[in-house]
Amino acid sequence: MESNSPSELALFDAIFTTRAMRRLKPDPIPDDLIGKVIEAGLCAPSGGDVQHWRFIVVKDARIKLRLQVLYKRAFDDVIQRYRANPPPPGKTLAQKNRMLAAVEYLTDHFHEAPVLIVCCLLDDLSKKLGLEKMSGASVYPAVQNMLLAARALGLGATLTTRHLIYEAEVNEILQLPANAETFAIVPLGYPMGRFGPVSRTPVEEVTFLDRWGAEYR
Ligand SMILES: Cc1cc2nc3c(=O)[nH]c(=O)nc-3n(C[C@H](O)[C@H](O)[C@H](O)COP(=O)(O)O)c2cc1C
């Protein structure tokens, strides 16, 4: 479970230890690893196999800083609400506070990640079909594949979306065309801390048998 070696990390070990890794070293990541992470993303499904995902690998320090300024502004907008929320299911207040400290750390150091991968879609199908619930559905599976690939390579990553609070400004910084949208920014880098198991609500508490509310066992 503790191994970072790609050759040793089995799929379920990766799945069970892919957590939000928000404290990253600024050390650069080899380009072939970034390519491998994106290649894993491209193995994901997309509606009609149109593969309209696009990825912007942001390494430029000035662009990263401009994104961080907006990410921090968005944090300041929402942090009071986050603090007032109860802890996530099954988590203690202490665990929630540790998570918030990590969230704040990432916010303050967003631009220090060696790479920010901005995950985009061209002509999101959900708009064409008028199905709001499908928004981003053809890029988020790719993002999850990328998180798992990062884990297998010993890289830390987090799926973040808070930049969307300042979407228009972000689009301008990244010079997105009108038919493209961003859905996530994944800061990627070598983690400062160690990987560990994720903790989630047990299967039987979130799963029903045959109909809503019926116990699953
Ligand atoms: C839709 C979505 C949006 C998220 N946005 C952010 C974000 O903006 N910033 C952040 O630090 N984490 C973000 N996260 C990460 C979650 O907070 C994280 O997955 C959750 O707290 C569980 O953490 P764990 O995997 O380390 O247990 C997001 C996750 C999802 C699925």
Q: Which of 160, 167, 198 to mutate to test the pocket of ligand 1 (most atoms within 8 A of CB)?
A: 160
Domains in the chain: ranges and CATH:
11-206 (3.40.109.10)
Protein residue with its CA nearest to atom 25 in ligand 1: 19
| Pair 166, 122: CB distance under 8 Å | no
Protein residue with its CA nearest to atom 19 in ligand 1: 20
Per-residue pLDDT for the chain (217 aa), expressed as one digit of tens each?
344 554 558 999 999 999 999 999 999 999 999 999 999 999 999 999 999 999 999 999 999 999 999 999 999 999 999 999 999 999 999 999 999 999 999 999 999 999 999 999 999 988 888 999 999 999 999 999 999 999 999 999 999 999 999 999 999 999 999 999 999 999 999 999 999 999 999 999 999 999 999 999 8
Question: What distance in Å separates the CA atoms of residue 80 and residue 100, rounded to the nearest whole number?
Answer: 11
pLDDT digits (tens, 9 = 90+) for 6-28: 455 899 999 999 999 999 999 99
Measured CA angle at 181 (ends 172, 36), to 5 deg: 105
Quote the pTM value: 0.95
Protein residue with its CA nearest to atom 20 in ligand 1: 20
State the DSSP string of 105-171: HHHHHGGGSSEEEEEEEES-HHHHHT-GGGTTTTTHHHHHHHHHHHHHTT-EE--B-GGGGGHHHHH
CA of 159 to the centre of ligand 1 (A): 6
Protein residue with its CA nearest to atom 5 in ligand 1: 160
CA of 46 to the centre of ligand 1 (A): 22
- Count of residues in the chain: 217
What pLDDT shows up at residue 1?
Answer: 39
CA of 160 to the centre of ligand 1 (A): 6
